[in-house]
Structure 1
């Protein structure tokens, strides 16, 4: 049976999520209206900066983020491979301003610590954002930018985009693996678009 499955799987190409380029990310952050897309912008910033999985973003709490003035230090305590990660978001463009603006809209009566709350018409509710909504962030961005094949921008887009942007900037595969929490070089290279490593 195993031999049969291997033979029938020859030539199979897994369908991968599309990625967002630096220019597409910058265009969305600068042109999308904060009143409608502020939560999406913050999710995009943290997801790309930390190569975050959807569930890592969903479970992120306000206590996991330290605001140190010119940057944010973000801790991901619960990862898929049980090894905590830390990453930094620096003050590029207006990224920190967007984060602080979103955090300032947090209602005072919220009883939980989850960072991402439902956001509509410039206001946050006390209800935390779920995995499905968080996983749609890339497709919302792609739809806004009128990119083709919007459905191909899945929750994995943030991790793939992060790895590809690092590889395109000349970062070595070892650093990319450590940044995203991958143990395998093969897995890390599979996340990089066009294998630029």
Structure 2
């Protein structure tokens, strides 16, 4: 492997981590400088695990726009902030709404799901909230004290290596036949 490949891989992991650290200031200030009484502002990171040929053009967490244009396998980003209860009742449920697009032909689809939040640590001790977009249009949300690139991260492992082909679901258009 070339040296530039390793620099790219490091940058792909380091950049989201650096952005999360910079955005962590929102945890102290909150949205518009203050969090409502009894709430904690948290940064939102996201990672796309879909594979080759599909991306996310935008997504929302509990109605708040949280991200835009992720090109697919391993794409990630951060945004600030979502206010959550200081002491959430368990399980804490979040509604995620997102739009996927397929790159081989024009197909955009909205998806929505409500999922429980996985707490490896409390919000105040975490790296922030991480939303994982998984194959089959599944979503997992994690709070952990390690970033997604860490081998100790308890959620889905960060996508590495070459992207696998996206496998369409039964109600989606099949991939175009090569050579036609």
TM-score normalized by the length of structure 2: 0.30
Higher helix share: 1
With normalisation by structure 1, the TM-score equals 0.28
